[in-house]
């Protein structure tokens, strides 16, 4: 049977294909049931961490500290600014050192998924998306080969205000910086941190240059490094393995309505995806992914020619004219897309967070969700500690943090890496089938759409759910090849499809850590329960 007429056959056999997917999911849930006791243990210990004593206004009572600073935060981006607000609200004296306090101008970090927005609410920072023309986002529309499907976030159980948010990254960061600066126990300073100050294996502070060029030092029991993807301090605290799979080319389309209002749009183009999403009342961000580390030159016109001749013909007709106008306008930006699994070296007195510590491909917009989730976790871990000067106990807490964050962060990281590889065009027939199967699987709706979109949104970041849906897509793709009449050629292609799927996801899972991702309760650091507050 000719592969070209498969879609007609598939539509009449969707029921059988769904059964195949269901059985794949069922096997996974049986496996999940066997882990029930571990899950209960994890839940109980999480509750123990959260059982802390508070005063009447909700702030933790802290012991007197001889020093003037409890925590130094290096960097005041999304992670650093949000962390400063959070720890200051808990009574910590925070010193934030940021290289440049002017409003950032970036083409990434502009989409906050609903799961991240819920964390923003949990931190009491939801008002930071007010007054910046932030746009509500309710899901995605995916385009491929002239077809499209809409995937809505599963928000039925939430209030109407709960959704994703898209905005200018710099405006969002400035709002959080302004909020941090209003807190009496936050010192926000412009300066460049050049090194960590270490004594007997314990980080005691930082050396930095002030705005005026004066070299000085700052000391605190805890130093948290959040200096972003270009961090020059991470090598002292982790084993960085940075990969650059692609670059984003950014444009702004003006005064244009997207085909699906308040939705992100993903075009599965050749060679790789193109994204559209609103960032203000009148602007739509376009990000064109270019595989590899080199992009056509902007200065000599190669980039404009590439965008017009290669990219523009693949863009939906409703957006074509606005896209070409944006290219002609010439405000073209580029940004390398970095990926770096978390590989910490636990160091007394110091902690890495944000993009300085862990990065993933920005295709799924999960970076801020991971950062805010980490901040919530760290806040709850530190609350029982009255005095951060107890370096051994603090180090145990930080080691526990690295383990507890894994299920959420690894799910979002793995999804980003796997989806990017699946969504990229490939000359390999098995990869082509996987890409087509993924689009058609999502188009089925029901649990086939709700499960993956709940992962993407950060509302249900569970490693096992990701694993099951990823291989359900692969099984669905094999089912399409074998129904109604398998042939040796189709059997071979199906086997290669499964092999290709395994080759995509297993290396990512390995880099994240199988044990930490799926079985965190078996990691010794997990059981380092915090001391009770008297």
8-state DSSP, 65: -
Residue 20 in this model has a pLDDT that exceeds 60: no
Q: What is the pLDDT of residue 214?
A: 95
pLDDT exceeding 70 applies to what percent of the chain?
86
Residue 43 in this model has a pLDDT that exceeds 60: no
Q: Sign of the CA dihedral 502, 503, 505, 507?
A: positive
Q: What is the pLDDT of residue 477?
A: 96
> At 275, is the pLDDT very low, low, confident or very high (cuts 50, 70, 90)?
very high
Torsion of CA 464, 469, 473, 476, to 10 degrees: 100
Are 289 and 243 in contact, with CB atoms under 8 Å apart? no
Residue 102 and residue 174: Cα distance in Å, rounded? 8
Residue 1 makes CB contacts below 8 A (sequence gap 6+) with 9, 484, 485, 487
Q: Rounded mean pLDDT of 61-77? A: 74
> At 25, is the pLDDT very low, low, confident or very high (cuts 50, 70, 90)?
very low
> At 45, is the pLDDT very low, low, confident or very high (cuts 50, 70, 90)?
very low
pLDDT tens, 106-151? 999 999 999 999 999 999 999 999 999 999 999 999 999 999 999 9
- Alpha helices, DSSP H, located in 251-337: 302-306, 317-329
Residue 429 and residue 141: Cα distance in Å, rounded? 25
Q: What is the pLDDT of residue 30?
A: 40
Q: Rounded mean pLDDT of 506-516? A: 92
pLDDT tens, 295-330? 999 999 999 999 999 999 999 999 999 999 999 999
Q: What is the pLDDT of residue 12?
A: 42
| Sheet architecture: strand order including 274-278 | 147-152, 139-144, 264-267, 274-278, 283-291, 243-254, 333-339
Residue 163 and residue 141: Cα distance in Å, rounded? 15
The residue whose two tokens read 């010439």 is 330
Residue 124 and residue 19: Cα distance in Å, rounded? 44
pLDDT tens, 70-107? 999 999 999 999 999 999 999 999 999 999 999 999 99
> At 65, is the pLDDT very low, low, confident or very high (cuts 50, 70, 90)?
very low
Q: Rounded mean pLDDT of 201-208? A: 94
Q: What is the pLDDT of residue 53?
A: 28
| Within this chain, domains 71-132+167-241+341-389 and 245-339 share the same CATH topology | no
Are 36 and 44 in contact, with CB atoms under 8 Å apart? no
> At 525, is the pLDDT very low, low, confident or very high (cuts 50, 70, 90)?
low
Q: Which token pair is 358?
A: 């862990």
pLDDT tens, 447-503? 999 999 999 999 999 999 999 999 999 999 999 999 888 899 999 999 999 999 999
Residue 64 in this model has a pLDDT that exceeds 60: no
Q: Which token pair is 410?
A: 């690894």
Q: What is the pLDDT of residue 13?
A: 46
DSSP string computed for 318-364: HHHHHHHHHHHH---EEEEEEEB---B---TTEEE-GGGT-B--GGG
Residue 21 in this model has a pLDDT that exceeds 60: no
Q: What is the pLDDT of residue 9?
A: 38
Q: What is the pLDDT of residue 527?
A: 53
> At 33, is the pLDDT very low, low, confident or very high (cuts 50, 70, 90)?
very low
Distances (CA, A) of 230 to 32, 76, 197, 213, 336: 39, 14, 20, 21, 11
Domain boundaries, the chain: 71-132+167-241+341-389, 245-339, 413-518
Residue 129 makes CB contacts below 8 A (sequence gap 6+) with 112, 117, 120, 165, 167, 172, 175
Q: If one looks up domain 71-132+167-241+341-389 in CATH, what number appears?
A: 3.50.50.60
Are 415 and 369 in contact, with CB atoms under 8 Å apart? no
Considering the chain, what is the average pLDDT of its residues? 87
Q: What b/e string do you get for 190-213 counting C-beta neighbours within 10 Å, with b at 16 or more?
A: bbbbeebbbeeebbbbbebbeeee
| Burial (CB count <10 Å: 0-12, 13-18, 19+), residue 262 | middle
pLDDT tens, 396-452? 888 889 889 999 999 999 999 999 999 999 999 999 999 999 999 999 999 999 999
Compute φ and ψ for 386, nearest 5 degrees.
Answer: -75, -40
User: What pairing do the DSSP bridges indicate for beta strands 350-352 and 139-144?
Assistant: unpaired
Residue 332 in this model has a pLDDT that exceeds 50: yes
Are 193 and 134 in contact, with CB atoms under 8 Å apart? no
Q: What is the pLDDT of residue 393?
A: 81
Q: What is the pLDDT of residue 337?
A: 96
Q: Which token pair is 19?
A: 């059964």
Residue 361 makes CB contacts below 8 A (sequence gap 6+) with 245, 246, 337, 339, 416, 417, 420
Residue 74 and residue 353: Cα distance in Å, rounded? 10
Q: What is the pLDDT of residue 485?
A: 84
Q: What is the pLDDT of residue 52?
A: 28
If one counts every other C-beta atom within 10 angstroms of the C-beta of residue 245, the result is 19
Q: Rounded mean pLDDT of 363-376? A: 96
Residue 347 in this model has a pLDDT that exceeds 50: yes
Residue 234 and residue 482: Cα distance in Å, rounded? 49
Are 153 and 405 in contact, with CB atoms under 8 Å apart? no
The residue whose two tokens read 């994703």 is 164
pLDDT exceeding 90 applies to what percent of the chain?
75
Residue 460 makes CB contacts below 8 A (sequence gap 6+) with 451, 454
Q: What is the pLDDT of residue 67?
A: 67
> At 395, is the pLDDT very low, low, confident or very high (cuts 50, 70, 90)?
confident
Q: Rounded mean pLDDT of 215-222? A: 96
Smallest CA-to-CA distance from 433 within 387, 495, 389, 390 is with 495
> At 66, is the pLDDT very low, low, confident or very high (cuts 50, 70, 90)?
very low
Q: Which token pair is 82?
A: 């949000």
Q: Rounded mean pLDDT of 497-518? A: 93
Q: Rounded mean pLDDT of 148-176? A: 95
Name the CATH architecture for the domain at 245-339: 2-Layer Sandwich (3.30)
| Burial (CB count <10 Å: 0-12, 13-18, 19+), residue 37 | exposed
């Amino acid at each position: 049977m000719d592969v070209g007429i498969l879609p007609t056959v598939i539509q009449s056999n969707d029921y059988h294909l769904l059964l195949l997917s269901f059985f794949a999911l069922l096997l996974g849930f049986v496996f999940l049931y066997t882990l029930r006791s571990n899950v209960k243990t994890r839940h109980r210990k999480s509750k123990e961490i959260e059982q802390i004593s508070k005063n009447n206004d909700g702030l933790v009572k802290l012991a007197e500290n001889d020093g003037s600073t409890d925590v130094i935060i290096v960097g005041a981006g999304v992670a650093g600014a949000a962390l400063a607000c959070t720890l200051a609200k808990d009574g910590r004296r925070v010193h934030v050192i940021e290289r440049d306090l002017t409003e950032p101008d970036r083409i990434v970090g502009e989409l906050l998924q609903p799961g991240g927005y819920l964390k923003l609410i949990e931190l009491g920072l939801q008002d930071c998306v007010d007054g910046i023309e932030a746009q509500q986002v309710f899901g995605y529309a995916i385009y491929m080969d002239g077809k499209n499907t809409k995937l809505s976030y599963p928000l039925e159980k939430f209030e109407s205000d709960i959704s994703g948010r898209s905005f200018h990254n710099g405006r969002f960061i400035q709002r959080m910086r302004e909020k941090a600066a209003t807190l009496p126990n936050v010192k926000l300073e412009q300066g460049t941190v050049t090194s960590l100050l270490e004594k007997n294996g314990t980080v005691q502070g930082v050396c930095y240059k002030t705005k005026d060029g004066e070299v000085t030092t700052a000391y605190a029991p805890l130093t948290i490094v959040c200096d972003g993807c270009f961090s020059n301090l991470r090598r002292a605290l982790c084993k960085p393995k940075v990969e650059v799979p692609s670059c984003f080319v950014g444009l702004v389309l003006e005064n244009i309505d997207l085909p699906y209002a308040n939705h992100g749009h993903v075009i599965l183009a050749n060679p790789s995806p193109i994204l559209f999403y609103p960032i203000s009342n009148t602007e739509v961000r376009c990000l064109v992914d270019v595989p590899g580390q080199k992009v056509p030159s902007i200065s000599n016109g190669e980039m404009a020619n590439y965008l017009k001749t290669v990219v523009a013909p693949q863009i939906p007709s409703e957006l074509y004219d606005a896209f070409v106008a944006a290219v002609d306008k010439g405000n073209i930006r580029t940004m390398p897309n970095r990926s770096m699994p978390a590989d910490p070296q636990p160091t007394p007195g110091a902690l890495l967070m944000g993009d300085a510590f862990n990065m993933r491909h920005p295709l799924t917009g999960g970076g801020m969700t991971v950062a805010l989730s980490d901040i919530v976790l760290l806040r709850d871990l530190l609350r029982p500690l009255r005095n951060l000067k107890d370096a051994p106990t603090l180090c145990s807490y930080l080691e526990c943090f690295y383990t507890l964050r894994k299920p959420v962060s690894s799910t979002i990281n793995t999804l980003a890496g796997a989806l990017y590889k699946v969504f990229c065009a490939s000359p390999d027939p098995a990869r082509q089938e996987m890409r087509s199967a993924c689009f058609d699987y999502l188009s089925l709706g029901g649990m086939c759409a709700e499960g993956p979109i709940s992962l993407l949104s950060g509302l249900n970041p569970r490693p096992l759910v990701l694993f099951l849906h990823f291989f359900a897509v692969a099984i669905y793709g094999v089912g399409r090849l074998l129904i109604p009449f398998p042939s040796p050629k189709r059997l071979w292609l199906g086997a290669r499809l499964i092999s290709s799927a395994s080759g995509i996801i297993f290396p990512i899972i390995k880099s994240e850590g199988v044990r930490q991702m799926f079985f965190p309760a078996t990691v010794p650091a997990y059981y380092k329960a915090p001391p009770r507050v008297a």
